[in-house]
Amino acid sequence: MASRKIIIDTDPGQDDALAILLALASPEELDVLGITVVAGNVPLPWTQKNARKICELAGKPGTRVFAGADRPLIRPLVTAEHVHGRTGLDGPDLPEPTMPLQAQHAVDFIIDTLRSLPSGEVTLCTLGPLTNVALALQQAPDIAPRIRQIVMMGGGFFEGGNITPAAEFNIYVDPHAADVVFRSGVPLVVMPLDVTHQVLTTRKRVEAIGALGTPVARAVVELLEFFERFDEQKYGCDGGPLHDPCVIAYLLQPQLFQGRDCNVTIETGSDLTLGMTVVDWWGVTSRPRNATVMRYVDADGFFNLLTARLKTLCG
């Protein structure tokens, strides 16, 4: 069976890094056509550099990386150095990348790729703010029916928000872009905080990765040890949530996740709840279902998958 063609849109971020590594470690199932980066966890000069560092860590320097939007559609940029550190990949001492940044803009790459390949072949995997994808949909509305699926990390319902009481970070950074995407008619699969907060980097799980003994595993442990310190203090748990790799894990083993089809609307007008994903989980409105929202995950199965795939990366 042919591997699934994907574009990863991301703002690395330690957890984004794990998602990229998981995808690059799964070439039989996933064909990574390119990685498009956006400002989010840290500004664009860092995210475009971080994506290339991770590709080189994985031993995949031929992966194409494209820089995209350096700010949200309308609002000023909000970043998360308080979580990810100044560089976004604080933790390990990764060398400066030597692989080139592609000259083409990320939005143009998304549009051209979707137009050049047969309709329904390309899945967009979004791990950060949705600015690049929204710009592509606005500039080229014809691509919407050509997208097989958008699988995203974003939002929350039962868990609330993680940057405000109501909003998850990726959606809050660019709620207007999220609104464009959720109104686009593209099939959406959403990995909200409700799922990612079940996937905790416990000491036992991190030790299992470290026991692999490879350069990649050592770097991953250092990434996680830095990343989890914030959430352990915030939530008082053993380990922190590993958000973005859920997107890639879903493509590899969808049976790990359970959810339901819902209507999801993005709040763009309220100062109090800006960026809230209003999920009609119980079907109390007549709004049409526009997203499959995940609620449960087999966390042990997720970490078994992640650890097994990391073992294949020699760096």
- Assess whether 243 carries a catalytic annotation: yes
Dmax over CA atoms of the chain, in Å, equals 53
Report whether 217 contacts 210 (CB < 8 A): yes
Point out the catalytic residue in the list 82, 84, 105, 243.
243
Half-sphere CA count of 161, side-chain side, radius 13 A: 19
Active-site residues: which are they?
243
